Amino acid sequence: MYNKAYMVPNPIMPNENVTFNAELCNGCNTCVDSCRSGVLVPNPEKGRPPIVLYPDECWFCGCCVGDCPVPGANKLNHPLNQRMGWKRKDTGKHYRIGMKNPPPPDNRPPVG
């Protein structure tokens, strides 16, 4: 037992910054290579999604999602304080990025 090294995720930070769809991910580890902060490590089982070993070190840059050759195999989950939203002054309705039916852009020139 003392001759083996184990890597386990950080139990203090339970967030899931990167999630993988096991049905779509082919285990190519392109996301592991493109991760700037070393959050992901290859899975020891071939063909399985990578392991998110250090979730608290994620910069939320999106390189792992952008470089993935299979669309939808992984997803970046931004924390609540980084999710962008806006509110229309005339209606008072709140909107956020990623919603199902976003409003059309407001192309009016700024007032003033």
Query: What is the pLDDT confidence band of residue 67, given thresholds at 50, 70 and 90?
Result: very high
Residue with tokens 């070393």: 38
47 lies in some domain: yes
pTM of the complete model: 0.62
97 lies in some domain: no
- pLDDT score at 10: 53
107 lies in some domain: no
64 lies in some domain: yes
Domain housing 38? 18-82
3 lies in some domain: no
The structural domain count of the chain equals 1
99 lies in some domain: no
4 lies in some domain: no
Check pLDDT > 90 for residue 20.
yes
- Taking the CA atoms of residue 83, residue 30, residue 33 and residue 64 in that order, the dihedral angle to the nearest 10 degrees is 0
- pLDDT score at 53: 87
Check pLDDT > 60 for residue 108.
yes
